[in-house]
Amino acid sequence: MQVTIVGTGYVGLVTGAALAKTGNTVTCLDIDPGKVALLRQGTSPFYEPGLSELLTQNIEAGRLHFTDDRAAAYADAEVIFICVGTPTGDDERCDLTAVLAVADDIAANMPGHDPVVVVKSTVPVGTTKRIAERISGGTTQPFHIANNPEFLREGNALDDFMRPDRIVCGTDSREAETRLRAVYEPFTSQGHPLLVFDIPSSEMVKYASNAMLACKISFVNEIATLCERLGADINLVRAGMGTDHRIGTEFLAPGIGYGGSCFPKDTLAVIEMGEDTQSPCLINQAVHAINQRQRQRFLKRIIDHFDGDIRNKQVAVWGLAFKPQTDDVRAAPSIDILRGLLDGGAAVTAYDPEAAANFTAEVPQVRTATDRYSAVEGADVLIICTEWDEFRAPDFAKVRSLMASPVMFDGRNMYRPCEVAKAGFTYHSIGRPTAKACQTSPA
Ligand code: NAD
């Protein structure tokens, strides 16, 4: 199959590389010529485990091509996947500028045969139809339309794409369904189900799924706050809840809240759909509000530790990415927390294995360190924002000896409080009692 991917972000690039691996001829189109130049050399513009290797293999096999030339990209396409961003706009509504611009591009460069246009970007219900109408407004050539939301997670994206829990498609067109079944046959033949729905239901599945996961995170964070106030330990509470098979423990890890390019904007889009249909989405409003509050509470606890005055305090930070295994900092809790510390007059030095460059592009006042130990030199406090594996078992004695004051605020509950306290730290975490240092001299 001749496949065209529009947009070489996390979703587009992974989709393109995976579909090339399964034997399709794939052309990836992006309007950013710098990205296209990098991709032609087999280099991914972002960190995603295994992706650069897969790109190189498929470029060398002649199945994967990159271009910024719209006419060339659309000329032979049998299936076109729209994978451009749908961020939250300044008005907190889903910004459809990029997907609608792609619709105009497709209309202006419509192939002579009838392609299937597949909306893979996450879009509010009704948008796939709007895209189809937009294309029809610019061309008389026939085409088919489908929606096909993507569920991959950054950091595990290739595996998620190739071994999905489910593939969801929405279409009214038999031809679109036939071609999508053919494209996904290498995955469905391995037992991964493909569910074909009407278009609005397919669009809604994506939002309902992300909203549910975001809801679990805010739920556990709300209970964690109660635990802090009432002297309970959220990790024990979670373990006790999680053994109930109806509940489980997935997405019930307490922390400083969710970030990234999906949960925050998708929760807002659900709220927007509720407002537009005069059916306010009260749970989703609360999920969003709790998530914002969680960052601010953490920031306030740090400032309170210094009696409200963090001027000239040296703050060390481990982890900037919105989650481990990615360099993505979009809507990361670290952004709000570190901005708050800088606004209060603190000096911040941070270490992240992959996300430092993206972070300093957003918040240039933060100094970055090249490793976890140099980040803590002379620090009055260490803050953990992302649970990268390399932070799991640090040499606590070394960390303590490098810091000016052994205080830790762990936003991801990475350690056992008694262990950190024994190493001489005062240890604050989420939803658990603060552990006071129980040794006074360095180990
Ligand atoms: P991204 O922001 O990483 O990448 C989008 C790319 O599209 C950019 O490279 C940009 O240059 C390009 N682009 C913009 N306009 C274009 C045009 N007219 N023609 C060609 N290229 C164009 O996006 P992403 O994170 O991959 O997300 C894409 C969509 O997938 C969003 O709707 C998102 O909600 C959804 N999604 C994302 C994830 C994720 O983990 N990132 C997971 C599932 C679904």
The residue whose CA is least distant from atom 27 of ligand 1 is 85
What are the backbone angles phi and psi of residue 53, rounded to the nearest 5°? -60, -45
Q: Is the CB of 119 under 6 A from ligand 1?
A: no
What are the backbone angles phi and psi of residue 287, rounded to the nearest 5°? -60, -45
Angle at the Cα of 255 from the Cα atoms of 251 and 256, rounded to 5 degrees: 120
Q: Is the CB of 73 under 6 A from ligand 1?
A: no
Output DSSP code: residue 115. P
Nearest Cα neighbor of 233 from 436, 423, 416 is: 416
Q: How many CB atoms lie within 10 A of CB 397?
A: 12
DSSP sequence for 216-284? HHHHHHHHHHHHHHHT--HHHHHHHHHTSTTT-STT---SS---SSSHHHHHHHHHHHHHHTT---HHH
Interatomic CA distance for residues 253 and 262, integer angstroms: 18
Cα–ligand 1 centroid distance for 261 (angstroms) = 9
Angle at the Cα of 99 from the Cα atoms of 355 and 7, rounded to 5 degrees: 45
Burial (CB count <10 Å: 0-12, 13-18, 19+), residue 249: middle
The residue whose CA is least distant from atom 22 of ligand 1 is 7
Q: Which pLDDT value is given to residue 112?
A: 81
The residue whose CA is least distant from atom 14 of ligand 1 is 84
Substitution site in 83, 123, 207 for ligand 1 pocket (most atoms within 8 Å of beta carbon): 83
Interatomic CA distance for residues 436 and 261, integer angstroms: 37
| Cα dihedral 296→356→52→9 (10° resolution) | 50
Cα–ligand 1 centroid distance for 39 (angstroms) = 15
- Closest ligand 1 atom to Cα of 122: 32
- Closest ligand 1 atom to Cα of 157: 40
What residue type is 233 in one-letter code? D
Name the strands in the sheet holding 407-410, side by side, starting at the edge strand that comes first in the sequence: 367-368, 347-351, 314-318, 381-384, 407-410, 426-428
Q: How many CB atoms lie within 10 A of CB 185?
A: 12
Q: Which residues are catalytic?
A: 262
Cα–ligand 1 centroid distance for 372 (angstroms) = 31
Q: Is the CB of 5 under 6 A from ligand 1?
A: no
* Sign of the C-alpha dihedral computed for residues 297, 299, 304 and 305 taken in this order: positive
Substitution site in 13, 154, 261, 323 for ligand 1 pocket (most atoms within 8 Å of beta carbon): 261
Residue written as token pair 């599945």: 205
DSSP sequence for 122-166? ---TTHHHHHHHHHHHH--S--EEEE------TTSHHHHHHS-S-
Q: Which pLDDT value is given to residue 300?
A: 98
Spell out the per-residue pLDDT of the chain, length 443, in tens: 999 999 999 999 999 999 999 999 999 999 999 999 999 999 999 999 999 999 999 999 999 999 999 999 999 999 999 999 999 999 999 999 999 999 999 999 998 889 999 999 999 999 999 999 999 999 999 999 999 999 999 999 999 999 999 999 999 999 999 999 999 999 999 999 999 999 999 999 999 999 999 999 999 999 999 999 999 999 999 999 999 999 999 999 999 999 999 999 999 999 999 999 999 999 999 999 999 999 999 999 999 999 999 999 999 999 999 999 999 999 999 999 999 999 999 999 999 999 999 999 999 999 999 999 999 999 999 999 999 999 999 999 999 999 999 999 999 999 999 999 999 999 999 999 999 988 655 44
Q: Is the CB of 100 under 6 A from ligand 1?
A: no
Cα–ligand 1 centroid distance for 8 (angstroms) = 7
Interatomic CA distance for residues 215 and 283, integer angstroms: 8
Question: Which segments within 299-361 are labelled E, that is strand?
Answer: 314-318, 347-351
Q: Is the CB of 83 under 6 A from ligand 1?
A: yes
Q: Which pLDDT value is given to residue 439?
A: 62
Q: Which pLDDT value is given to residue 442?
A: 47
For residues 82 and 120, the answer to whether their CB atoms sit within 8 Å is: yes
pTM, rounded to two decimals: 0.95
